[in-house]
Amino acid sequence: MPDIIFQSTKHFWPEITLALTFIAAMIFEFATKKRTTGTGILVLLGLAAALVQLPSAPSEPVSIFGGMYAIDPFSTFFKYVIIVTGMVVVLFSFQSQELKKESGHTGEYYCFIAAVTFGMVLMTGSSNLVMIYLSIELVSITSYILAGFSKSLRRSSEAALKYVIFGALSSGIMLYGMSLIFGLTGTLDLSGIRTALASGHAVTTGWSFAALMAAIVLMLAGFGYKVSVVPFHFWTPDVYEGAPITITAFLAVASKAAVFAVMIRFFYVAFFDNMLASTGVYSSFRNVDWSMILAVLSVLTMTLGNFVAIWQDNLKRMLAYSSIAHAGYMLMGVVVMSNFGLSAIMLYFVMYFFMNLGAFYVVMVIADKIGSENIDDYRGFGKRAPIISVGLSIFLISLTGLPPTAGFVGKLFLFSSVMASQFIWLAIVGVLNSVVSLYYYARVLKNMYLREAPDGDESPIVFSKVTSAVVILFIIPNILLCFFYQPVLTFAQRSIAILLPGL
């Protein structure tokens, strides 16, 4: 046993770095009372240290800690996204006024960012049901805390409370599903489950099969809750609106990425058979029409997200609904159940990272400047703050999925993968939904460029050079990735191929 542990730690260094960052940051926070930025920088360095260790991850899948954790290019891809998101959020937080108000314990904020990142990274590699549950819980609990961080704002505490209640409920449901799976297959390990199912151990009688399906649905409820899939999304608008905006940004991008990683791993390693040679599509045991169910969920999610966003006046809440809609789009890729679809999801996450974080950053700096997140207060911004407005415009256009932005490429591949698998109606629904999304994104643009400021104020709103630089830094990849997406796509495709051999 000790040998296994020592062998495993060799590959576990990035995660260990993250855990140490968390602990070190807390100790630092204790030791030096008022130096909150210091803690932030320490966390940033820790995340960076973890990041630089990622490229040396083995390119062949390795299972460590006795089958608990898996290191493979698939999880490494997501780790990149998550850790970079964490670093970016820390950088954003340095500038956030919201957090400066909580001056008493802003240091702990950074510790928790480290903790959440650690949890998310853990999620991407979990290959055992216990680990999946633990990592999801770690992320959930730290998210609850971070969501309620702006204690001076009532809505923040409300957000945290709703999040806790909802999260507890969903965790419970998921845990029940896990227990059923354990009962049916006798093992908690994902590959072990696969073996058990393949040998027909669990699927002997009709009832067992039904129970297995019920268990999977329950687990789906748990995953769906974290990714904001309808009908498990109800916490999302309230929490995203109430939480500090940096946390909203973090949750919207990284949390989704991590859960998609674990969801894909769970479904594909445990439950899906090898690819049907002709269509490149995976078939599940006994051919349950998972694709139809997931497709329906995807459609519901997209539709609800896009349609309800139309009515929103608060930009944060609107972005929350928009992220629900994006979860719907990404779920389409899971529906497809092929290499193409999965690599499309991974590509989409990279694009999503740039456009979503950019949009949230702009909302944050504008909210800090004028104290409002209401769309009506964005009137006249085009003239008064040109760089910021251009940035927001590009991010919103990217979120809609129009060329020549990164969002377009992401959607292009998602829709292509869907159409390649004969789910044409799903692609059509997706495109129609994108059209609807154009409305509410364009409303912001309209306010910024075509409307006068309410009091006729034409004075320029000055943002610091750093702010403008950050915005430009996010604009550039949004445009560039539209043309130079190939490296990312190739990396994603190779990762999928390794994760799911037999391709």
Partner 1 sequence: MTFETILFYVLALAGIVSALLVITRRNPMHAALFLIVNFVALAGIYLTLHAQFVAITQVLVYAGAIMVLVLFVIMLLNLQNEQDLFEKRSWRSYSGPILSLLLLALLLRTVAFVSGGSFDRISPESERIGTVANIGQQLFTAFVFPFEMASLLLLAAMVGAVILAKKRFP
Partner 2 sequence: MHHYVGLIVLFPLIGLIVNGLFGRHIRSERVVGWIGSLAVGIPFLVAAAILYGMLGSPVEERSNTVTLFTWIAAGSFQVNAAYQVDQLSILMTLIVTGVGFLIHVYSIGYMHGDRGFWRFFTYLNLFIFAMLNLVLADNYVLMFLGWEGVGLCSYLLIGFWYEKKFAGTSITWTGDAANKAFWVNRIGDFAFMLGMFLIFREFGSLTFSTVMDSASSLAPGNSTMFWITLLLFIGATGKSAQIPLFVWLPDAMAGPTPVSALIHAATMVTAGVYMVARNSLLYALAPDTMMIVAVIGALTAIVAASIGLAQNDIKKVLAYSTVSQLGYMFLALGVGAFTAGIFHVMTHAFFKACLFLGSGSVIHAMHEEQDIRKMGGLAPVMPKTYYTFLISSFAIAGFPPLSGFFSKDEILWSAFSQGSVLLWAVGALAALMTAFYMFRMVTLTFLGTPRWAKDKHPHESPPTMTIPLIVLAFLAVTGGFLGIPAALGGGNALHHWLHPVFERALDRLPTAHEYSHMTEYLFMLVSVVIGVSGFWFGRKIYLANPDADDTFAAKAGGVFRTLSRKYYIDEGYMRGIVNPLVATSDRFLSRVVDTALIDGFVNGLAKVTASFSGVLRLVQTGVVQSYASMIVVGLLLVLGLILLG
Residues that bind partner 2 (CB under 8 A): 162, 165-166, 169-170, 173, 210, 213-214, 217-218, 220-221, 225, 230-232, 234-235, 237-238, 288, 293, 297, 303-304, 307-308, 310-311, 436
Least distance in angstroms from the C-beta of 221 to partner 2: 6
125 or 333, CB closer to partner 1? Answer: 125
Q: Is 69 helix (H, G, I), strand (E, B) or coil?
A: strand
Least distance in angstroms from the C-beta of 368 to partner 1: 22
Residue 334 interacts with which of partner 2, partner 1, none, CB < 5 to 8 Å by class: none
Least distance in angstroms from the C-beta of 462 to partner 1: 32
Helix (H) or strand (E) run with residue 283 in it: strand 282-284
Residue 150 DSSP symbol: -
Residue 130 interacts with which of partner 1, partner 2, none, CB < 5 to 8 Å by class: partner 1
Least distance in angstroms from the C-beta of 157 to partner 1: 8
Q: Which residues contact 278 (CB under 8 A, 6 or more apart)?
A: none
Helix (H) or strand (E) run with residue 71 in it: strand 69-71
Least distance in angstroms from the C-beta of 311 to partner 2: 5
Least distance in angstroms from the C-beta of 127 to partner 2: 25
Least distance in angstroms from the C-beta of 232 to partner 2: 6
Residue 431 interacts with which of partner 2, partner 1, none, CB < 5 to 8 Å by class: none
Rounded CA gap, 8 and 12, in Å? Answer: 6
Residue 91 interacts with which of partner 1, partner 2, none, CB < 5 to 8 Å by class: none
Least distance in angstroms from the C-beta of 301 to partner 2: 11
Structure tokens at 475: 């604009």
C-alpha dihedral sign at 294, 331, 60, 64: negative
Helix (H) or strand (E) run with residue 304 in it: helix 290-309
List residues near partner 1 by CB under 8 A.
Answer: 1, 5, 8, 19, 22-23, 26, 65-66, 68-69, 104-105, 108, 111-112, 115, 118-119, 122, 128, 130-131, 134-135, 137-138, 141-142, 144-145, 148-149, 151, 160, 180, 183-184, 205, 207-208, 210-211, 213-214
Residue 98 interacts with which of partner 1, partner 2, none, CB < 5 to 8 Å by class: none
232 or 381, CB closer to partner 2? Answer: 232
Give which of 293, 304, 487, 484 is closest to 406, Cα–Cα.
Answer: 484
34 or 465, CB closer to partner 1? Answer: 34
Rounded CA gap, 123 and 229, in Å? Answer: 18
Structure tokens at 16: 């260990």
Structure tokens at 243: 């939480």
Q: Which residues of 174-276 form beta strands (DSSP E)?
A: 272-275
Residue 316 interacts with which of partner 1, partner 2, none, CB < 5 to 8 Å by class: none
Least distance in angstroms from the C-beta of 158 to partner 1: 13
221 or 253, CB closer to partner 2? Answer: 221
Residue 235 interacts with which of partner 1, partner 2, none, CB < 5 to 8 Å by class: partner 2
Residue 65 interacts with which of partner 2, partner 1, none, CB < 5 to 8 Å by class: partner 1
Residue 288 interacts with which of partner 2, partner 1, none, CB < 5 to 8 Å by class: partner 2
* Sequence-separated contacts (24+) of 51-58 with Cβ below 8 Å: 51/14, 51/80, 51/83, 51/84, 51/87, 53/13, 53/14, 53/17, 54/14, 54/79, 54/80, 54/83, 57/11, 57/14, 58/11
8 A C-beta contact, residue 260 and residue 345 = yes
Give which of 414, 253, 406 is closest to 320, Cα–Cα.
Answer: 253
